[in-house]
Amino acid sequence: LNDLLYRWKIGALPIDIVGVVSNHFDYQKVVVNHDIPFHHIKVTKDNKPQAEAQLLELVEQTGTELVVLARYMQVLSDALCRKMSGRIINIHHSFLPSFKGANPYKQAYERGVKLIGATAHYVTADLDEGPIIEQDTARITHA
């Protein structure tokens, strides 16, 4: 999120950011310092349908065209994925299709890979399976 906000601030990301919705309070100060509305929605297994309804309501109220998931760390429901098809991008910290799901860095380390990466992809109901938009890699050592 910090990198996205920085790129937006310097004009390298030519978009209108209408707000940030997070399930982490620790981003509030960073977002507010950029004069962007911040919305906290707590997500638990018990309130997930209500949390997703709140998110969808905010998207509709603000006229949001695209949602970018950065450190959201929640699997979206099939229903939300269908309603927002083609309008949600996830930033996943692995070179997909390798190391899907949680803890991709740990998975990569345990596998001993020599290249790590990041992938931006459209979100679908299948975890980390959506169409890939962009990828980048970096060579690493385990020394």
Structure confidence by residue, pLDDT tens digits, 2-35: 899 999 999 999 999 999 999 989 999 999 999 9
pLDDT at 73: 81
- Nearest 5°: the CA angle 25, 54, 71 is 40
pTM value > 0.85: yes
Q: Above 80 in pLDDT, residue 143? A: no
Mean pLDDT value across residues 115-119: 95
Cα separations (Å) of 38 from 74, 114, 141? 18, 38, 38
**Comparing C-alpha atoms, which of 92, 89, 100, 83 is closest to residue 118?**
92
Catalytic residues: 128
| Amino acid identity, position 136 | D
pLDDT at 125: 93
Domains of the chain (ranges, CATH numbers)? 1-73 (3.40.50.170), 75-79+87-143 (3.40.50.170)
Distance CA 51, CA 79 (A): 13
